[in-house]
Structures are given as C-alpha cells and as structure tokens.
Amino acid sequence: MKLYPILSALSPHHVVESMPNGGLASQLEMILRLVNSRVAAVDRIAVVAHDANTGLLKTLVSTNRDDGALKHYEVALADVPTLSELAVQRGTRVIHNLVDAFRSPSTPNHWLKHHHYPSSVTTPVSQGDVLAGFLFYDSRQLHAFTDADVEELREFTDLIAHLFLTQRRLARGIVSAIQVAVDLARSRDFETGQHLERIAYYSRIMARALAASHSLSDAYIEYVELFSPLHDIGKVGIPDHILLKPGRLDAAEYEIMKRHVAMGESIIGRISQDLGLQGSMQEQIMRNIVSTHHERGDGSGYPRGLTMEHIPLEGRIVAVADVYDALSNRRAYKNSWDDAAVCAELRAEADAGLLDRDCVEALLSAKEERASIKQRFADVREPGDYA
C-alpha cells in the first residue's frame, strides 16, 4: 500500500491518536481537504459498511463540502448487482455520468442525482477475504475524473481503508476481549448466544427508527448494535447458585444479582483503559448500556434510580430490547408470551412511565423485522429443557 507519504503529510501522531475519540468522521473531513489539494474535483467522500452476517450495506460515514448526507440507509448487497460484481472483481468503478449509467430509482442513486453528484469513483474494501464495505468519491462535475485522478485517489483509498478497518477491528476487538472474559468464567452460559443476537438486532431497529428525531449518526447506530449484547457482562461475577437458579430469586438473592451492573462497569472500565478508549464514543455507549439498561423511567430501576430524562438513549433502547426478548422467550421460571401479549405489556409499561414510549413504538412498529429476527435467531433447546 502507498500509505506512508500520505500518513506523513497528515502527521502519523494525529492520525493514530485521534482515532478513538474523533473517529472516522473527523478523519474524513481532514482527508477531504488533502484530497482536494491533489484532486480538486472530489466534493464528497463516503464509506458504506457491509454486514457479512446479514448481507446488508449500511451507510456509515461521509463528508462533503456542503450540508446534507445520505444517512441511515440499508440495502441488501444482492439487490445492487453492480456493487455485487465490483465486490467480486475487487476493482475500481468510475462513473462519468450517473444519469446515463443508472436508470434505477434506488435511494442512493436518487439521492446522488438530487444532490447533483454525477461522477464517482468506487472501490470495495476488504478485510482478508471478507468484504468490509465500499469507498465512494463523488463529484458535482460531469466526467470529473481522469485516469490520472483515479490513480492519485488510490493512495487516499489505502489510507481511508486502513482507518476504516482499524476502527472496525477496534470495535470488534472490544467485544471479543469481553467475550473471552465470559468464556474464561467457566462457560457459564448465563444467556444464550441467540438472546444476545436478538438484543443486537432489536436495538438496531430502534436506533435506526429514532435516528432522525434524535439526530443519531450512523456510527452511533452501529455501536449500539455492536455493544448491546454486552449489557449483562457483569453477570460473570455472580455466584452460580443465584445466576443459574431454576426459578425466581428471593429478595436477598435479587440484591446480589443487582451487583452485576457494578461488575460490568468495572469490566468496561478495564477494557477501555487497556485499549485506550477513555472518553471515546465507544466507551460512553458501552458504559451507558451496561450502567443504565436496568433503570426505569419512574426511578424504580437500579442501580441509581434514574428517571427517564436522565437515562441515556442507548440505555433506554437496550432496556426495551431486553424486556421484549425476555417476555417473548421461554425461561426456567416462565413460558413465552405471544406477540400480542408482549406488545400490550410493553405499551402498558410505557404508559406507566417505566419504558421509553418512543423506543417501544419504534420496536413494535417493525412487526415484520421483529418476526424475522425471532425466527432466524430462535433458541434451540434439548428435549426436556425447562420441563
């Protein structure tokens, strides 16, 4: 890769040190200025992430010379044949006139046409053999990019891909590091992996639905999805006779169980320190999820008795996801509820001020998505479980 000349121009110290706190968005703003010193036609740089588990392309971050951005958009890679082909070829696509090249009324094409970006250079970004996403350079000029421009942009592509993949590895490394802690804690299986998958996707549904009204970035949505499965990580420190009890806890046992929040905060603190994440968006979202997903809007939750306005949005989101999933699935002490009963209960808890009403309605409104998640990530039990 031709990273080094550009890294030197950007100052390697700034590039490395600002990553956790500033993130890719602030890096792209800086890179766009440098790009324009060499390829003046570039008006916009965008990174779209690919989820290998779902096959979805998801807007992640972009920077442009004017206001406005394509945000909170998802589409199946299989539904975009040109990008699917590009991902296989691992080449670079140059478009000189978007109107002539694509007659498709897709959201991205419509957005680019509406904002007058007729020219583009697109390159897939891979992590090993796995497609991680795509990088786009867009211009407001027709036939904006010469062969020399495309070659010049390759160096910047290497840099942006490096930063994108570094951030991606960092985020997944956090989850992996904590998962190791869980595995080392005698593989206690206090929650099924399917439960954690469902929590992640339910949380994403809500974050996406609330993005416009709460001015949420695509990076925020990604981190909520990624870190929501860590909500009960502190349970690795709860004694087996309480954690695995096949029935409801008594008052004393419940008080011990509640300590898992403080234990989880301690784990997140150590992980953040080891990875240099103090003060970053990643650390804040992780900590808020672990600390506040058991809080309730009327102050009856734990550990701090926060009222709704003091509970961070990510904590409110995961609280709704956790309650929904707990009611929807069988447990040692209860049978699963049907969906109508679960919806009624969540709305009742929203009426009582326990759960955030916007989060509840965001999840319940996505009926087909919820059904798909429940079917795809259904628990598999052995005969006799919970008998």
The catalytic residues are 235
| Per-residue b or e along 170-198, where b marks 16 or more CB atoms closer than 10 Å to that residue's CB | bbeebbeebeeebeeeeeeebbeebbbeb
Q: Hey, which residues does 57 pair with through a beta bridge?
A: 50, 75
Between CA 206 and CA 333 the distance in angstroms is: 28
Residues 29 and 47 sit within 8 Å (Cβ to Cβ): no
Helix (H/G/I), strand (E/B), else coil: 307: strand
Between CA 5 and CA 90 the distance in angstroms is: 24
Return the structure tokens found at 48. 């779209």
Helix (H/G/I), strand (E/B), else coil: 75: strand
- Alpha-carbon separation of residue 200 from 137, 165, 370 (angstroms): 31, 21, 12
Between CA 208 and CA 219 the distance in angstroms is: 11
Q: Hey, which residues does 133 pair with through a beta bridge?
A: 49, 125
